[in-house]
Structure 1
Amino acid sequence: MQNIKDYFTLQDDVVNLIEGLNSGMNEQLIAGMTNTARQILISSLHESTNRPVLYVTHNLSQAQKVYDELLAITDRDDVYLYPVNELLAAETETASPELKAQRLEVWENWQESDQGILVAPVSALKRVLPPVGQNNQTSLDFKKDEVYPFEETIEQLVNMGYKLADMVTSPGEMSRRGGIIDIYPLTENFPIRMEWFDDELESVRYFDADNQRSREELDHVSIGPVDEFLLTHEQMERGAERLKELLAKSLNKLKKAEDQEKLRESISYDIEQMEQGEHFPGMIKYLSLIYDDVHSLVDYMSEETMVVFDEISRVSETAEQLDREEANWYTDMLETQSIVNGLTLSFDWATVLQKMTHQKVYFSLFLRHIPYTKPENIINISSRQMQTFHGQMPMLKGEIERWRQSNYSVVICAADDERMDRIVNVLDDYGMLAHKVKQNTPLEAEEPLVVKGQISQGFEIPTFKLAVLTEEELFKKRKPKKQKKRQKLSNAERIKSYQELKTGDYVVHINHGIGKYLGIETLEVNDLHKDYMVISYSGNDKLYVPVEQIDQVQKYVGSEGKEPKLYRLGGSEWKKVKSRVKSSVEDIADDLIKLYAEREASKGYAFSEDTEMQRDFEAAFPYEETEDQLRCIEEIKADMEKERPMDRLLCGDVGYGKTEVAIRAAFKAIIDNKQAAVLVPTTILAQQHFETFQERFQDFGVNIGLLSRFATPKQQKDTLDKLKKGLIDIVIGTHRVLSNDVKFKDLGLLIVDEEQRFGVKHKEKIKQLKANVDVLTLTATPIPRTLHMSMVGVRDLSVIETPPENRFPIQTYVLEYNPAFIREAIERELARGGQVFFLYNRVDLIEKVAAEIDALVEDARINYAHGQMNERQLEGVMFDFLEGNFDVLVSTTIIETGVDIPNVNTLIVYDADRMGLSQLYQLRGRVGRSNRLAYAYFTYQQNKVLSEVAEKRLEAIKEFTELGSGFKIAMRDLSIRGAGNLLGTEQHGFIDSVGFDMYSKMLNDAIQAKKKGKTYEEVKPFEVEMSLDLDAYIPSDYITDETQKIEMYKQIQAVENESDIYDIKDELIDRFGEYPQEVEDLLQVSRIRLSAKKERVETIDERQKKIELIMEAEESQKVDGAELFTLANEYGRMVQLATEGKKLKITLQFQRHNRHERYDLLEDFLSKLKQTKNHVINE
């Protein structure tokens, strides 16, 4: 891109602009320039004048686009985005963390260099900030091998806003263990682990939040604060005093006692928090009380900063609109006694402009009078957006010849060397000579030049004699935008939390049933310590489970909100339940294996391998595929190319590109002259798929038919005729496709979307169709990994877990319901031409709520929908909404899961605290389906104290703003639904009766046994009973957190080989520091157990300096007597041999050996037992 920027700076108009800046002109206007050309110009100015730039846009969405463009053009790290929500009300409430993380990055870096480009929406200039110099935004720098007092460091980090947690998984958390501090700064991609020896910092390293293991060593690190405004206790106390004064004045003005009480209630919590020095969401409202003076972002810009306005008239109009909205909102808040009078919440536009004494450059597409501006220099640089050639090379050739005759420089941008070569070759094939050139080559060649660089769109500037094209204009192929390395604020796998065991959780013991986990207790018997899991059962009975039997206990995971029933210890009820579930999973295992075997044996049609045409079709996809998509496509094609009929389930979140995968499968079928049918559960979905397929296949001569209520009887008859004659390649429809009058000439592929939503009769018909055609079933309900793994070899599953590029995370807010705020949120969405989902989950009052919103937002067109409407009514409302016939849909949770309404980008949920996590997650997935920034507002009743569960639920949804968390977040509820869909809904009850994990384990055991043609008893894992006089446990002063201690016990229990044990040693040292002797002993016990398992030794028992080993009968028969005596002789009189029935009994007698020498000898003896056997059986 550098050569294009250099070319810009040589043009007379740009020279004129730079001279204006150098001579001190205050305001200059550039007219006629389009988007990408603007960003290239600003980047050129920034480099040639070496001055910082503040680039102002009219809203956040445009700021994001400009920022992405500049990031690609400059190829430097000093481009920043300062994102602020346009809704003042949202900014003053609790918000999702991405925007804050990006602002913190600006505070951390901008003040140091002050030479970069800062992109900000105009709303950011209006926000109130602490006075320059009082922002307390200091970072702490740490260098390896330097001295930093440990306790003092912890205190400093807590003062910077970090919250102490048992384990660090989210940005903003820290934890301490011994001499180790783990911390997760908001501006880092990974959390950081720092290890001290006394007060010296010995090691600094990144670690992985998922598995808590270290990644890479660092020499130094800079840790910034968690909050944008770090306030001292004194400042907050001063703010509290001033707030009390304002409250008193506001109360005096209120006449009614209930109004006074309401205001007092609204404000007293805030005063309390400030007096205690606690940061809280919404504290930003009181900055004007905490400081004597407040500043704006403009005050933070140095004098030589150049302020650039992107489309100045739109910026001004938006700013004035925001002035009005903010004033109205404040008035509404005062009238509803939600706020006190006398706060400065934002600056009006006139004040911001008054503060702006910097040199300004305005962009305007048209030359016209623009309020607030007095340009001293007007420069007209007319540019136009490049046309799209859609791969029509002769048309491109003609255009290039026209440009060359007019002495243009023609430049084509490509993302990397490979794509540059491809462009040169394609042009060459059509007789156009093009040169691949380096970044610094001047643009003076006769032929087109291909340069490395990424811009969003091409352009032509006649006065510069320049034409710039991108791959998108040439081939309609979009490359993902370049992004600054940004952390995934998806909260690691805190989602593990669905499996993590905490005190008070329900658990299932394989032999005793469901109880409540009370924690770990360390008991001391005969001077030996042992850890036990304590589980309470019905009637307050307690069960102590030694930690080496931890694998017999699973966390109980049932449907959300269901409390399981506790069993009695020693009762017979659990045995009955378990036996019912066992026979059910065995039936399922039988069915699955039988079905699979039948399919393996049946003959279908083997599709031919990919053709050139298939490759062209796939290359025409305008986006970059995700790795998951590519993998799924390969798996499906491999299935189609086999003789047996395909029956594959494709699983992936809404909007993750399942449709494109299905489209490619359909095309593969059509190329072999077969027909494809796409079956969907609703008429609207059929219509949407029909339009998507038509658009995707338009250049490939594929005929597509629609069978649904939206097609007239005449159209349907025509479709049926053509299907029979083979004149239609793909038919898309509802269950109408399953009717008896639908006859295909040669059906080769059936694609079923969300099969679980069809009725029993329709499912039977699908089953008949499945017999000899290839079937691909799509679902958005996640299939849990545990289930996925146990299905290998009995059900073909493909999973898409990664979201497509260029989708913004949904900005999620959790706040009290406030009509003034709701009005502002709806008006803001309508102002950008969008629509709104308003979720209200009570059918009896939904009309009333719709009427209230109608009254609240006068210009909005409102309608409502709920599950008690008949199918046609509901369909009509949804279709009207899809067509944009009204703006706000007030609906219960029946909002169509699969329906894609890209224009809906604001979701408001009423009483969100009363909904399940999976419900909230799926609802939120209905917005953010386009490249626009989407907002989700989860509201709860004013002054309502949330239950702990509801609070956690809302906290989780707020933290999981990162795309793609769907697979993990709603694991609990959705897993069970997914399992029901996969195995039959009647399984739901069975799953709830034993818990999801136990159910998965039982199903897996049954499938593995049936595959081998044995009973479960025959294939169940071999266990060793051990009793050794070793103090082997994890002391509480080594790992203090019980959840993490249980996790470590689980890992130690699950070791399968020596390298697993080394791995655990590394992890222990990495996460918790050097371990004590007791943990060393625990690992030795694990090693001994491992060796005993290999040699099928079923009992190891230690009594008074003797250790007795008993080997399993079958294994004992394999021991060669002579070899065993030879081995025994190596140990002198220490080894005694005997038999117990058919079992070999070996006794090791110790005389002068200490405890640890005994166990080393035992390990040594077990490792040599192998050589005494006739032949070794590999497990």
Structure 2
Amino acid sequence: GAADAYITWRIHRAAGMPVVLAVPDSSEAARLVDDLRFFAGREAFDDIALFPSYDLASFRSVSYNIRTAGERIALLYRISQGLLPSVTVVPVDSLIQRLVPTEKLTGFAMSIDEGQEIDRDALVARRVAGGYERTPVVEEVGDFSVRGSIIDLFSPFHEQPVRIDFMGDTVESINFFSPVTQRRSRQTNSILVLPAREVVIEKKSMGRIISSVKKRAGALGLPVSASREIIRKMEQNELIDGIENLMPLIYPSTSTFFDYLPSDTCLVFLQPENMRHAAETKAARALENYNSAKKDGKLCVGPDDLYISWQDVADSVRERPLLMFSMLADASLEQMLGRRVLSRRINVFDNTSTSAMLHVGKNDGNRAIAPLLSWIKDNRHAGAASVVVCGSRARQERVEKLFELNDFKVVTVDDFTGLKNSGSAVYVVPGAVSSGFNFYDERIAIISDAEIFGTPLKRHKKKEKSLRDECLDLDTLRQGDLVVHVDHGIGRYEGIEKIKVDGVTNDFLLITYRDGDRLYLSVDRMDLARKYVGAGDIAPPLDKMGGKSWARTKARAKKEVEKIAKELLSLYARRKVSQGRSFTPPEEWLRDFEAGFPFEETEDQRRVIEEVLSDMQSPVPMDRLVCGDVGYGKTEIAMRASFVCVSEGMQVAVLVPTTVLAEQHFATFSERFSGFPVNIAALSRFRSVREQKKIVADLKEGRLDIVIGTHRLLSKDVQFKELGLVVLDEEQRFGVRHKEALKKLRTTVDVLSLTATPIPRTLHMSLMGVRDISVITTPPERRRSIKTYICEFDDAIIRTAVRKELERGGQIFFVHNNIHKIHFIANHIQKLVPEARLGIAHGRMTPESLENEMMRFVNREIDMLVCTRIIESGIDIPSANTIFINRADMFGLAQLYQLRGRVGRADEQAYAYLFIPKESALGRDAQKRLKVLMEHSDLGSGFQIAMNDLKIRGGGSALGVSQSGHISA
């Protein structure tokens, strides 16, 4: 916990030298990095580093996460140059993995300076050898592009990509630029270009590498075809998924993490007995996967060629400075090290007993503060300073008020490094630690707000650079795409041609029509044409210029649209001119309600809350769309709006797409409103007839303040006494008629829609100004990006990933969207991982069976849920952090994003495995969807994905029930 981080940081400060902290697993490593950054303070925040593991099954053809690769390479290079961070945290998986040889990494590193002469062709060839991918636009680490005299590339060493302008072969200028807007941000004189992956395949080594590949294939008794495709890709400079698993065939020798470290580096092993167990487990799994790969006829190398053993670790640290934190003396380690291990007892105690007695709830005031005051008095008696760590501004104010009421003087500091360590002082520090502790030898005792209030904590964290803060319009038109001209109809785009008119050369889009008709459209009149988007896969016939077919098509579409246009637009018009209810937020009560929120609001969240409350205070009925990634706090915004509504005696209707989500929201709302006189109920088909009748009656009589339900709320028997607010959650799951039916309950009602990836039609209307839109792009402070892998269906990947999740006490989703084969898949998985408790869920089960199965998963009675995409909507299970999506190519972009969003809701690292057929069998749109999903694995990208979906599918008719395709007639 946090005590380990504190001691490690003190060791670094006392020794005045860098420390490498080795830990049993990746989750512990991530927690320790956060704790270390708290103790190091803002000044040294960036000098705490993590050497991440790939978290992948060995011997599998899976694309390694390019960002993880970039982080590893940048850190290895930094260490190789003697620039060790103050503390580097390394999980065992990374510690035992064989690495790119130090001389290869440093040899490939290339400095590019302004004014330098460089062979551009050689530079491009070198990027390809280093694992860079040539792309039209540079957005991610490892991308590069060439446009005339400009080369853009994204080196792992830098936080932004660079744009290099050449004059001939001379570097004229170097500029960093935004991967979002593609605009230059600042100029620089020099950059460092590192390989993008750990495997560098240089042309001069190609003969030896091919010979090694063939020799290994022969040793395994594999046919020539087993190595032919890999050799072809190497010769063609194509990226090879999982090539890191063949590293010993690429390099004559490999390095270990210890080879990169200076010999006098201070090493700290956290729980060496657990580290050894983790290393041995990894070795056993690697052997199992190796045997499986051999059996499947795959080209692979032995586990010993990819990992070092625990004995190798012991040998590597024998002559190095080594400290170990252990609950017990490990005699076997002494034996392996061949030297005596000196031990010293450190008296550090946790806050378990104090925390158990502390029940300062949402509205308990100072009634339960006695244990906290007693804790402070004990610390003073021991001569230790008391430090209360608060994860939010609201929590900090609450703590300060509690102490003030009890005549305790507190000192508030901005940073842990600001402590003076006075034995009698009580400090309040913003931030978060994983757990508190009492370390009287150091005269310090720490307690977290989570231990005081009994609710989750948030970490003070440097805002992660977001590649998605703005919308990027890269709507590329490719030769052969169908386009629609406003006057001439559907034609085929054939490219851009330069034509001289009246002595002036201009660019024109060439569009061909039926019978060879050609239209040259000036680029300054591109607004007259747009990309064709239609339903289905059948391409429409081309129109004839001057013909009548396009006019007939427009007439049919117009007639279809007008059926709904008057009703729908008049509703929006009435809402804009109607005098709705103008709410006045009750300041004192609202402050109390806000203080009950256990997390620090993000800047985006605060802005959106202000926008929503401002709308509610306006006499014009609110119609706002809040778009934010799953788990970004949209529900809290809805609850604040609901609180304002019910505080004035009005009712709230919360419409959700599924019964399970209704039950979860009911539990969330009930807990959040527990200290206030608010009556809440859930109305769905799973309530008994008697219960439903009572809820309906209570709504009509005004005895219910908030009702949460599925489309059952739209039934004719449901009437409200005084409806003030409608909340639509996961609105993309409802049809237009469902949503409009709810709005028609009253044109004066405020409507708040919540979505992670709004369907294109909804987004289209918002961007046109028909509706107001609020976007939340800032992630909660402990959320991590979901590591996404795209690969073919593989038993070893399933087995390894499931066991890894079970070992950390987590749960797993396996999405298989074919009901007929779902039991076959479940049986197959059960054979692979017999220890896992499996459940099955799909839409053809009876409502009772489906609810029971989902609730068993929610209650953790089963470990793994094999299901259809019924889980797409809003189900919130923080313990589920691994998801498999079978035949991911069959899903839409928003569906994939929603499915992936079912995991990663806690502070654990989440993983998504997208199983697809061979890439050659994928359709063009499927490839595009999966590429977008991989590109947008960073947090806060739901809105950006919706924009891509808008490009791929079209916006839907603003005046029709069609939710994709501008007009399909």
TM-score (norm 1): 0.73
- Which of the residues 126, 129, 135 maps onto 2:105? 135
State the distance in 1 between where 2:714 and 2:561 align.
31
Contact 1:163 1:172 in 2 (8 A): yes
Contact 2:757 2:942 in 1 (8 A): no
Contact 2:57 2:801 in 1 (8 A): no
Look up the SS of the partner of 2:896 in the other structure: helix
Contact 1:560 1:973 in 2 (8 A): no
Contact 2:99 2:198 in 1 (8 A): no
Is 1:79 the equivalent of 2:45?
no
- Residue type at the aligned position of 1:184: F
Contact 2:51 2:90 in 1 (8 A): yes
State the distance in 1 between where 2:666 and 2:935 align.
36
Could you tell me which residue of structure 1 aligns to residue 338 of structure 2? none
Could you tell me which residue of structure 1 aligns to residue 515 of structure 2? 539
> CA offset at residue 667 of structure 1?
0.8
Look up the SS of the partner of 2:828 in the other structure: helix
Could you tell me which residue of structure 2 aligns to residue 876 of structure 1? 852
State the distance in 1 between where 2:147 and 2:255 align.
41
- Residue type at the aligned position of 1:59: D
Is 1:306 the equivalent of 2:259?
no
Written as runs of structure 1 = structure 2, the 5 A alignment for 1:509-528 is 509-524=485-500, 528=504
Could you tell me which residue of structure 1 aligns to residue 32 of structure 2? 66
> CA offset at residue 672 of structure 1?
1.9
Q: Aligned pair in 2 of structure 1 residues 269, 531: CA closer, same or farther (>3 Å)?
A: same
Look up the SS of the partner of 1:181 in the other structure: strand
Could you tell me which residue of structure 2 aligns to residue 354 of structure 1? 315
Q: Aligned pair in 2 of structure 1 residues 134, 632: CA closer, same or farther (>3 Å)?
A: closer
Contact 2:562 2:959 in 1 (8 A): no
Could you tell me which residue of structure 1 aligns to residue 155 of structure 2? 185
State the distance in 1 between where 2:587 and 2:393 align.
26
Could you tell me which residue of structure 2 aligns to residue 963 of structure 1? 939
State the distance in 1 between where 2:383 and 2:657 align.
58
> CA offset at residue 628 of structure 1?
3.5
Deviation larger for 568-577 or 389-398: 389-398
Look up the SS of the partner of 2:473 in the other structure: helix
Is 1:467 the equivalent of 2:417?
no
Deviation readout 1:655-702 (Å, 9 max, x if unpaired):
332211110011112222333332333221111001111222233343
- Residue type at the aligned position of 1:880: R
Contact 1:94 1:814 in 2 (8 A): yes
Written as runs of structure 1 = structure 2, the 5 A alignment for 1:820-859 is 820-859=796-835
Could you tell me which residue of structure 2 aligns to residue 1136 of structure 1? none
Percent of aligned positions with the same letter in both sequences?
A: 37
Alignment gaps of 5+ in structure 1: 1-34, 252-259, 994-1179
State the distance in 2 between where 1:422 and 1:687 align.
31
State the distance in 1 between where 2:946 and 2:164 align.
33
Could you tell me which residue of structure 1 aligns to residue 672 of structure 2? 696
Is 1:444 the equivalent of 2:422?
yes
Contact 1:905 1:933 in 2 (8 A): yes
State the distance in 2 between where 1:162 and 1:299 align.
26
> CA offset at residue 837 of structure 1?
2.0
- Which of the residues 562, 569, 573 maps onto 2:545? 569
Contact 1:505 1:555 in 2 (8 A): yes
- Which of the residues 93, 112, 124 maps onto 2:62? 93
- Residue type at the aligned position of 2:9: S
Look up the SS of the partner of 1:379 in the other structure: coil
Written as runs of structure 1 = structure 2, the 5 A alignment for 1:631-1030 is 631-711=607-687, 728-737=704-713, 746-754=722-730, 766-767=742-743, 769-782=745-758, 784=760, 787-788=764-765, 791-792=768-769, 794-941=770-917, 946-947=922-923, 949-971=925-947, 973=949, 984-986=960-962, 988=964, 991-993=967-969
Contact 2:486 2:529 in 1 (8 A): yes
Contact 1:560 1:916 in 2 (8 A): no
Could you tell me which residue of structure 1 aligns to residue 76 of structure 2? 107
TM-score (norm 2): 0.88
Contact 1:239 1:274 in 2 (8 A): no
State the distance in 2 between where 1:561 and 1:71 align.
52
State the distance in 2 between where 1:65 and 1:648 align.
37
Deviation larger for 92-101 or 553-562: 553-562
- Which of the residues 329, 332, 340 maps onto 2:292? 332
> CA offset at residue 270 of structure 1?
1.8
Look up the SS of the partner of 1:847 in the other structure: helix
- Residue type at the aligned position of 1:83: P
Could you tell me which residue of structure 2 aligns to residue 56 of structure 1? 22
- Which of the residues 228, 240, 244 maps onto 1:268? 228
- Residue type at the aligned position of 1:335: K
Could you tell me which residue of structure 1 aligns to residue 215 of structure 2? 245
Contact 2:383 2:423 in 1 (8 A): no
Look up the SS of the partner of 2:881 in the other structure: strand
State the distance in 2 between where 1:449 and 1:500 align.
56
Is 1:224 the equivalent of 2:198?
no
State the distance in 2 between where 1:287 and 1:988 align.
46
- Residue type at the aligned position of 1:72: F
Contact 1:663 1:693 in 2 (8 A): yes
Could you tell me which residue of structure 2 aligns to residue 1088 of structure 1? none
State the distance in 1 between where 2:160 and 2:652 align.
46
Contact 1:782 1:967 in 2 (8 A): yes
- Residue type at the aligned position of 1:890: V
Q: Aligned pair in 2 of structure 1 residues 756, 487: CA closer, same or farther (>3 Å)?
A: closer
State the distance in 2 between where 1:932 and 1:276 align.
39
State the distance in 2 between where 1:232 and 1:126 align.
26
Deviation readout 1:1001-1045 (Å, 9 max, x if unpaired):
xxxxxxxxxxxxxxxxxxxxxxxxxxxxxxxxxxxxxxxxxxxxx
Contact 1:490 1:959 in 2 (8 A): no
Deviation larger for 384-393 or 978-987: 978-987
Q: Aligned pair in 2 of structure 1 residues 336, 179: CA closer, same or farther (>3 Å)?
A: closer
Q: Aligned pair in 2 of structure 1 residues 248, 203: CA closer, same or farther (>3 Å)?
A: closer
> CA offset at residue 489 of structure 1?
5.9
Contact 1:490 1:961 in 2 (8 A): no
Deviation readout 1:562-607 (Å, 9 max, x if unpaired):
6444222222111122234445556766445522443345444332
Aligned residue pairs, count: 945
Q: Aligned pair in 2 of structure 1 residues 964, 362: CA closer, same or farther (>3 Å)?
A: same
- Which of the residues 296, 304, 312 maps onto 2:256? 296
State the distance in 1 between where 2:920 and 2:667 align.
46
Could you tell me which residue of structure 2 aligns to residue 434 of structure 1? 410
Could you tell me which residue of structure 1 aligns to residue 165 of structure 2? 195
State the distance in 1 between where 2:391 and 2:854 align.
41
Q: Aligned pair in 2 of structure 1 residues 401, 303: CA closer, same or farther (>3 Å)?
A: same
Contact 1:171 1:489 in 2 (8 A): no
Contact 1:52 1:115 in 2 (8 A): yes
- Residue type at the aligned position of 1:641: Q
State the distance in 2 between where 1:873 and 1:416 align.
41
Look up the SS of the partner of 1:496 in the other structure: coil
State the distance in 2 between where 1:940 and 1:470 align.
45
Q: Aligned pair in 2 of structure 1 residues 196, 422: CA closer, same or farther (>3 Å)?
A: farther
- Residue type at the aligned position of 1:481: R
Contact 1:676 1:729 in 2 (8 A): yes
> CA offset at residue 796 of structure 1?
4.2
- Which of the residues 343, 356, 381 maps onto 2:347? 381
Is 1:318 the equivalent of 2:278?
yes
Written as runs of structure 1 = structure 2, the 5 A alignment for 1:1089-1100 is none
Contact 1:189 1:488 in 2 (8 A): no
**RMSD, matched Cα:** 3.6
Contact 2:33 2:89 in 1 (8 A): yes
Deviation readout 1:293-352 (Å, 9 max, x if unpaired):
333212322222222223333322222211111111111111111234656232233333
Deviation larger for 400-409 or 961-970: 400-409
> CA offset at residue 949 of structure 1?
4.8
Could you tell me which residue of structure 2 aligns to residue 496 of structure 1? 473
Contact 1:137 1:230 in 2 (8 A): no
